[in-house]
Structure 1
């Protein structure tokens, strides 16, 4: 099996993913000219830049024209466009967006393991895995690409922005598929650590729910009486030591006894552990979506959500050897 994967990756090694390579940690944007009349390239790009929700204040018409002057606006075949080029409907255009200023996340990414193929890190809370919406440069992918100089560094899976813990990235484009498919096929053992109010849960308790999340809605929900599509096993629950409990009670403004939950998800639905904790035990400390959606502008770096991926285990798709990565100790952000 490993030999077949290596052969497959070798054949795909020179596959071109786009006419503009990642630059300074960021990939190029692809945009398609809509139906209608042909449009000058500068008008099309300026419309995209000027109407984006999170725009850098210095991204003016002159800055757009500078992109054209530098050959930074191209067609799918790599042909550089001029500002005056008429673009027909359906034309794909590639260019680099300019990220808006972002509030720096005051936590570092730490390396857990690295070899020639993969990088495993401990991602802190408040950093998205990949660029999205208003979080572009303050993401694990962009930070790590800039720190390492490796523009091909790519996550094999995703952690929610609020979730911390183990994140595996591939170091070369040709390896992405093998590791991403490993996670997609659910062939990776995972364990998460949660801190929440103490709730009596018998050991090895399985949680089954039907979870659904609509695009654009921040919260997932449980569908009663529907066929379960998610499963998590509670591996253990233990009350926190008194000193740690008192410190977290004061910081998070709670009075309930607090516990550490070890959760082993066997499926990967969006917000699965967050919803199941709310449904079956107690909301996770610092969760700003469950049970109540809180405004984004009130986010406080001193009270991160206490949900952390502490274990990744799998059979390596390249070598067939067993791999296991584990975190222990306290959250670096606490």
Structure 2
């Protein structure tokens, strides 16, 4: 049920930019491969599974093609391609800002997920870039929310990927975001906002709790626009939804935020109201050539 880890070798090739997904067999007994897949992935009909098997698009970890009656057992891993019928087209285009032997830097639009998941498969930045560039081993080096636009780095080479990933793990990356939110006349800037952020009981949401801080953001004001300010946010940690939570806790939720402070009903995206959060720039010392690298989004709020 996960997309295959592109650091490893998959028994199925990418298909139109989409890497195979996989599912492990847990404890239990199933008569055959079709019985197991139909039980675990009930949204896919048995007839569709049979057609995929006939096209040799379902196999085990060794690349052996599976048929409906193929025996299965605990610990086995089955590979297949995810498909989403009538996937909604995201009407905004990404742009490649920079590319060399090891890195690809993209400028992501609002509403476009970075990687496949849930309702998004072909309409994701990774799949679009893999199709347009033909780079099968392309892999994002960090996260960026679907609602957030801006600069994001991708690795092109498996051999050098770890060196770039270590920059994020050791906090050697400087990220700068821009955000639009309410003016805070009683607050002095710049300020350093720190808090402890943990997962909430609400699906996909985070919240601040008491305890030792595990998130930190330097916040300043760039421009005053009537009752709305343009803020610069510089996180030194990378907790999920950190910037959105920190602005909300100050009393200035980022404009058009569908999650904070109160989650809005899930529905179709309103493309006229993107989240006013932009990953404006990213800077680091390149671990390969030891040169200073800095990339800026061409978008603005």
Task: Tell whether the structures are fold-level matches, with TM greater than 0.5.
Answer: yes
Cα distance change on mapping 1:143 and 1:216 into 2, 3 Å: farther
Decide which of 27, 30, 35 is 2:22's aligned counterpart. Answer: 30
Are 1:44 and 2:36 counterparts?
Answer: yes
Aligned to 1:87, what secondary structure does the other structure show? coil
**Shift of residue 236, structure 1, vs aligned partner:** 3.1
Cα distance change on mapping 1:145 and 1:15 into 2, 3 Å: closer
Show the counterpart of 1:182.
167
Are 1:135 and 2:120 counterparts?
Answer: yes
Structure with the larger helix share: 1
Are 1:304 and 2:274 counterparts?
Answer: yes
TM-score normalised by length of structure 2: 0.91
Show the counterpart of 1:156.
141
Are 1:93 and 2:88 counterparts?
Answer: no
Decide which of 67, 71, 85 is 2:56's aligned counterpart. Answer: 71
Q: Write out aligned runs for 1:139-218 (5 A).
A: 139-200=124-185, 201-214=187-200, 217-218=203-204
2: CA distance between counterparts of 1:47 and 1:148? 37
Are 1:318 and 2:288 counterparts?
Answer: yes
1: CA distance between counterparts of 2:268 and 2:104? 33
Greater RCO between the two (CA within 8 Å, min separation 6)? 1
RMSD (CA atoms): 2.1
The total of aligned residue pairs comes to: 295
Whether the aligned pair in 2 keeps the contact of 1:196 and 1:260 (CA below 8 Å) is: yes
Structure 2 unmatched ranges of 5 or more:
1-5
1: CA distance between counterparts of 2:82 and 2:133? 22
2: CA distance between counterparts of 1:299 and 1:125? 11
Show the counterpart of 2:249.
279
**Shift of residue 326, structure 1, vs aligned partner:** 1.6
Aligned to 2:87, what secondary structure does the other structure show? coil
Whether the aligned pair in 1 keeps the contact of 2:283 and 2:292 (CA below 8 Å) is: yes
TM-score normalised by length of structure 1: 0.82
* Residue deviations 1:73-108 (CA, integer Å, cap 9, x gap): 211122222222111222111111212322211111
* Residue deviations 1:19-76 (CA, integer Å, cap 9, x gap): 1232212221211223222431122223344x24xxxxxx543331122222222111
2: CA distance between counterparts of 1:90 and 1:307? 43
Decide which of 216, 223, 230 is 2:209's aligned counterpart. Answer: 223
2: CA distance between counterparts of 1:152 and 1:111? 17
Cα distance change on mapping 1:145 and 1:194 into 2, 3 Å: same
